[in-house]
Amino acid sequence: MPVVDRVVQGTAELLVAGRGPADRAFNRAVIDSRQVQPGDLFFALHGEHHDGHDFVNEALARGAAGLVVERPLEAPSEVAVFQVSDSLSALQRLAAHWRARHDMRVVGVTGSVGKTTCKELIAAVLGTRWRMLKSPANLNTEIGLPLTLLELTPEHQRA
């Protein structure tokens, strides 16, 4: 996962304010406060039924090292806080920025029916030769895809 400087670069067009240790590295990008582990970067997204901003304190209590939010808030000084105009767009732009730093072939599957099965079969075949990154289950959405891309590491050879 990116360090603070990479988050700033990846979300620059949306960044309203930011603070926190410049050398802070993050373990994962997370959108569900119940899944936050120490060192994670929590994105407070607006959902149909919930607003991630309502769960920032829970994310902090679980050890979030960084927050991406749309409004000012208080957080401990050791926590990096990125205030952006749109947290979903920030997640997507950060993932695109992170993806651009990894030179590898990427396979995409489109269509109406059978995408998940097709993705699993392709990953199984290609995985016999290369270290693969694939989206878990059927998280091929405007949120799931960026979360998957942020899992890319130098060890991955195909995605």
Give 37's DSSP letter. -
Residues 138, 79, single domain; the answer is no
- Parallel, antiparallel, or unpaired: how do β-strands 80-84 and 15-19 relate? antiparallel
Q: Burial letters for 45-58: b for 16+ Cβ neighbours within 10 Å, e otherwise?
A: beeeeeebbebbee
Residues 117, 75, single domain; the answer is no
156 falls within a domain: no
What does the alpha-carbon distance between residue 90 and residue 29 come to, in Å, rounded to a whole number? Answer: 12
97-133 pLDDT per residue, tens: 888 888 888 888 888 898 889 988 998 999 899 998 8
Mean pLDDT over 82-86 rounds to: 91
Residues 38, 113, single domain; the answer is no
Residues 87, 69, single domain; the answer is yes
For residue 91, pLDDT over 70 is answered with yes
Residues 84, 24, single domain; the answer is yes
Residues 73, 142, single domain; the answer is no
Residues 62, 134, single domain; the answer is no
Residues 63, 33, single domain; the answer is yes
Residues 19, 86, single domain; the answer is yes
Q: Burial letters for 114-150: b for 16+ Cβ neighbours within 10 Å, e otherwise?
A: eeeeebeeebeebeeeeebbbbeeeebeeeebbbbbb
Mean pLDDT over 32-48 rounds to: 95
Task: Give 23 or 56, the one with higher predicted confidence.
Answer: 56
CATH code of 63's domain: 3.40.1390.10
Task: Look up residue 83 and give its two tokens.
Answer: 């205030």
pTM of the model: 0.84
Residues 27, 76, single domain; the answer is yes
60 falls within a domain: yes
Report the residue count for the chain: 159
Number of domains the chain is built from: 2
Residues 27, 93, single domain; the answer is yes
For residue 2, pLDDT over 60 is answered with no
> In which domain, by residue range, is 132 found?
103-149
